[in-house]
Amino acid sequence: MPDLDWLAARPIAHRGLHDMNNTRWENTLPAFEAAADAGYSIECDVHLSSDGVPMVFHDHALRRLTGQDGTIAGKTAAEMSALKVGDTAAHVPTLREMLDLVAGRVPLVIELKGSEGHDDALVARVAETLEGYSGPVALMSFEHRLVRQFSRLAPGLPCGLTAEGTAPEAMEAHFSMLAHDISFVSYAVKELPNPFVAFVRERLSMPVITWTVRDREAVKRTFAYADQMTFEGFTP
Phi/psi-derived region of residue 234, left when phi > 0, alpha when psi is between -120 and 50, beta in every other case: beta
Does residue 71 carry a pLDDT above 70? yes
Domain positions in the chain are 5-231
pLDDT of residue 2: 72
pLDDT of residue 118: 83
Q: What is the mean pLDDT of residues 220-235?
A: 98
Q: How confident is the model at residue 29 (pLDDT cuts 50, 70, 90)?
A: very high
pTM as predicted: 0.98
Does residue 21 carry a pLDDT above 70? yes
Residue 102: strand, helix, or coil: helix
Summarised one tens digit per residue, pLDDT across range 207-217 is 999 999 999 99
- From the list 210, 217, 175, the residue with the least C-alpha distance to 195 is 175
Angle between helix 122-130 and 95-102 (nearest 10) = 30
**CATH class held by domain 5-231:** alpha beta
Does residue 23 carry a pLDDT above 80? yes
**DSSP character at residue 33:** H
Helices (H) and strands (E) in the chain, counts: 9, 9
Does residue 157 carry a pLDDT above 90? yes
Average pLDDT, the chain: 97
Q: What is the mean pLDDT of residues 40-56?
A: 98
Taking CA atoms, 141 is separated from 36, 79, 99, in Å, by 23, 25, 19
Summarised one tens digit per residue, pLDDT across range 90-148 is 999 999 999 999 999 999 999 999 888 889 999 999 999 999 999 999 999 999 999 99
Summarised one tens digit per residue, pLDDT across range 173-223 is 999 999 999 999 999 999 999 999 999 999 999 999 999 999 999 999 999
> For a pLDDT cut of 90, what percent of the chain falls above it?
97
pLDDT of residue 114: 87
Does residue 1 carry a pLDDT above 90? no
- Angle 202-203-208 from CA coordinates, rounded to 5°: 50
- From the list 11, 19, 9, the residue with the least C-alpha distance to 40 is 11
Q: Annotate 186-207 with three-state secondary structure.
A: EEEHHHCCCHHHHHHHHCCCCC
